[in-house]
Amino acid sequence: MPATIFIATVLAAALQAASPPPTRARHGMVSSASAPATDAGVEVLRKGGNAVDAAVATAFALAVTYPTAGNIGGGGFMIVRMSDGRTAAIDYRETAPRTASKTMFLDAAGKVIPDASKTGHRAVGVPGTVAGMVMAHEEFGKLKWKDVVAPAVRLAGEGFEVTHALARSFQSQEKKFAPYAASKRIFNAEEGTRFRQPQLAETLTRIAEHGRAGFYEGKTAELLAREMAAHGGLIGMEDLKGYKAVRREPVRASYRGYDLLSMSPVSSGGFLLAQMLGMLERHDLGKLGHNSSEKYHLLIEVMKRAFADRAAYFGDPAFVKTPLAGLLSREYIDRRAREIDRNRATPSAEIREGKPSERESSETTHFSVVDADGNAVSNTYTLRDGYGGGITVEGAGFLLNNVMDEFAAKAGAPNAFGFPAGEANTIAPGKRPVSSQTPTIGVKDGKLAFVVGTPGGTTIPNTVLQVVLNLIDHGMNVQEAVDAPRIHHQWLPDEIRYERFGLAADVIRGLETRGHRLVASDKVGVIGMVHAIAIEAKTGVRLGASDARSPDGKAAGH
């Protein structure tokens, strides 16, 4: 993820100093990776909008001010919990175009063509973000649609000041942008200058005036289809008009008296979080201590088993059957937990997916929103890589995703994160690729407790897991929970990633003695970039946290 290049030093400093106190607000709170986008969400809250209105405003504003991952040309997932008990998991993941095929990224010998699934116009999936925002607003919003898109239109048209981090981010992508004239022209602003995007402002105006049709039909759709046709891409007008967001039921989990809502398939994030928490609940992690080798050993072992199950079973539920109820049954989780040796690492080569019952029941960014009534939104969305594939739609001013790399180009072949996906996640027309995104909402005794999520590819579920453990088991405040050092293991490759200064030397030795292999911290960078909100139990005050790893992030409220 390109942004991590610029924030490793920020992380190192943060890990050596105490976290600042969380941001406090009596009524509403927004936390995102971009200060102007956070302010857009708070502006909508002040005007009487609810959490969903503010979330939509924040999402469109991020498409202007945080183009590495904020988007209208990508897709993602939203968890909604309204104060009256209504909940929803909105899946607006990108889909494979109707002319996509299982072998489209293989050569004549059946081998994967290097980088073909993440570069060029054929790497683009049908965008879902606008459809997802429309669905959320139609179901739960209060203000008029045009009013919640208005802050983004203003930011694109009038511009905003370029920060040091954003200018450096643009510079780091010069090679990616080089083949695409529109991207080279737009994303080259210098620190301290005003960054205006008039074509994007026109596109956002069409969306503000016409809603879904302002993107999937009419001029914007024509410009996108023309971009595809001119460069060998697969997306046409029929793909755009036919795209649909899907409302699903959240994955539900319980942990030490808390109820959690997270994302259901096609995202694997909610499953991974629920299964790992289920395996860990039998252990007193608070007593073991936050930074002990014994605690980290347990985390690593549950991570390996959960990711092995993900590789075997997860795909688009419209195409494959994922035995989610069986994977999350108490009997199955107990069986997986009993496999763990407290004193020895199980090599990943010895771990395979379990056999659950068949019962049914990159670069990304996350933001969290809570309003005065206790309505909450946890939203994670993406262009896949930073700035997607680097392609800007000529005349429309927005970047396109390269999400086709989230499919398995060939069953068992590792993706850009080194994670192998199975047959269930191979390409088919209209299919959604499996994701790791884990937007999550926590509830205690029927009341909202916290909202959390993060970018980070396959590190996402493990990052959310560790923040939840920090809040519940280790008693940290939300800023401490977000800033604390993190580790990651994803089954394959069989290695532990950890952040610089994140593990003490004796903890590293303790893990190595158990048989774990660790990657040198200077090769890792940061793990995740969390934006979270917690509710102070006694007062109801909203406590906002923007990760120290997020150089332009901001939590703000009113």
Helices within 314-428 (DSSP H only): 324-327, 330-338
Nearest to 371 by CA among 92, 48, 10: 48
Helices first, then strands: H and E counts in the chain: 20, 18
* CA 545 from centre of chain: 17
Nearest to 233 by CA among 402, 74, 426, 406: 402
Q: Are 460 and 380 a contacting pair, CB within 8 Å?
A: yes
Q: Are 96 and 128 a contacting pair, CB within 8 Å?
A: no
CA distances from 451 to 381, 525, 547 (A): 15, 25, 14
Q: Are 436 and 448 a contacting pair, CB within 8 Å?
A: no
**Cα angle: 173, vertex 125, 215; to 5 degrees:** 95
Give the single-character DSSP code of 26. Answer: S
Distance between CA 154 and CA 40 in Å, rounded?
A: 10
Helices within 289-443 (DSSP H only): 293-313, 324-327, 330-338
Distance between CA 277 and CA 133 in Å, rounded?
A: 30
Contacts of 332 (CB under 8 A, 6+ apart): 326, 354, 356, 357
Q: Which of 364, 438, 440, 454 is catalytic?
A: 364
What residues form DSSP beta bridges with 76?
92, 381
Q: Give the H/E segment covering residue 32.
A: strand 29-32
Distance between CA 52 and CA 128 in Å, rounded?
A: 17
**What six digits make up the tokens of 119?**
């570069």
58 catalytically annotated: no
**What six digits make up the tokens of 24?**
């406090």
Contacts of 272 (CB under 8 A, 6+ apart): 306, 307, 310, 436, 438, 461, 462, 465
Q: What DSSP assignment string belongs to 476-515?
A: --HHHHHHS--EE--SSS--BEE-TT-S-HHHHHHHHHTT
251-255 and 258-262 as β-strands: parallel, antiparallel, unpaired?
A: antiparallel
Distance between CA 353 and CA 371 in Å, rounded?
A: 41
Point out the residues that are catalytic. 364
